[in-house]
């Protein structure tokens, strides 16, 4: 086990960074342990001692890149402000990631169930938890029906933000997140779930 901040930790960081870089450059299918070792200036044996194969290595890199899930949902006392804050957190997270990396992960998820599970755990479930807490607080205050669908809300937000980042290239600024809250999220939350 690597000592925090020691040589082993430095080597691990280089390997995981190289993995993400190569994933973004060439995609999951073209990613090889040989290429990671060369980019990280490490040996294949060092990589295989820590990770049994490509999927495990990519999963470790994704986990490291994603960082810890959001600790707490915003709690301003206002549903509108909480939604705006949650969207700004999602936007910051997405904006800090390479679009090519996101596309590479999305493509790889279709072929590797283990990788898909980790990405969903690190990304989607954390967002659902944040929105679930925001909606539960709003329901407790009487701002939305108790049946409001927080999971759907998180999915809508993810889809819209990813579309802007990867497809349309339109701005992900405060004006847009404000419009998303006012035109889509708040009206959707006022409708009872079927």
Please determine, for residue 152, whether its predicted confidence score (pLDDT) is greater than 50: yes
- From residue 102, alpha-carbon distances to 6, 99, 185 in Å are 30, 5, 24
Structure confidence by residue, pLDDT tens digits, 6-56? 677 899 999 999 998 898 888 888 899 999 999 999 999 999 999 998 888
Please determine, for residue 156, whether its predicted confidence score (pLDDT) is greater than 80: yes
pLDDT at 4: 54
CB-side neighbour CA atoms (13 Å) of 156: 18
Structure confidence by residue, pLDDT tens digits, 74-95? 889 999 999 999 888 888 777 6
pLDDT at 184: 93
| CA dihedral sign, ordered 104, 110, 115, 121 | positive
d(CA 29, CA 74): 38
Q: Which residues contact 18 (CB under 8 A, 6 or more apart)?
A: 36, 39, 40
């Amino acid at each position: 086990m690597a000592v925090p901040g020691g040589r082993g930790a430095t080597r691990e960081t280089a390997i995981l960074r190289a993995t993400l870089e190569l994933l973004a450059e060439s995609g999951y299918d073209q990613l090889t342990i040989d290429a990671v070792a060369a980019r990280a200036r490490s040996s294949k044996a060092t990589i295989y001692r820590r990770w049994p194969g490509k999927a495990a290595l990519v999963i470790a890199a994704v986990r490291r890149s994603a960082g810890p899930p959001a600790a707490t949902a915003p709690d301003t006392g206002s549903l509108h402000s909480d939604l705006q804050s949650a969207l700004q957190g999602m936007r910051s997270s997405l904006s800090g990631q390479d679009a090519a990396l996101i596309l590479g992960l999305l493509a790889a998820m279709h072929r590797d169930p283990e990788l898909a599970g980790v990405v969903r755990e690190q990304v989607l479930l954390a967002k659902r938890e944040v929105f679930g807490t925001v909606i539960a607080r709003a329901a407790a205050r009487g701002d939305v029906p108790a049946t409001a669908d927080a999971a759907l809300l998180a999915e809508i937000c993810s889809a819209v933000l990813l579309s802007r980042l990867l497809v349309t290239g339109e701005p992900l600024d405060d004006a847009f997140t404000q419009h998303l809250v006012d035109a889509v999220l708040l009206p959707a939350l006022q409708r009872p779930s079927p």
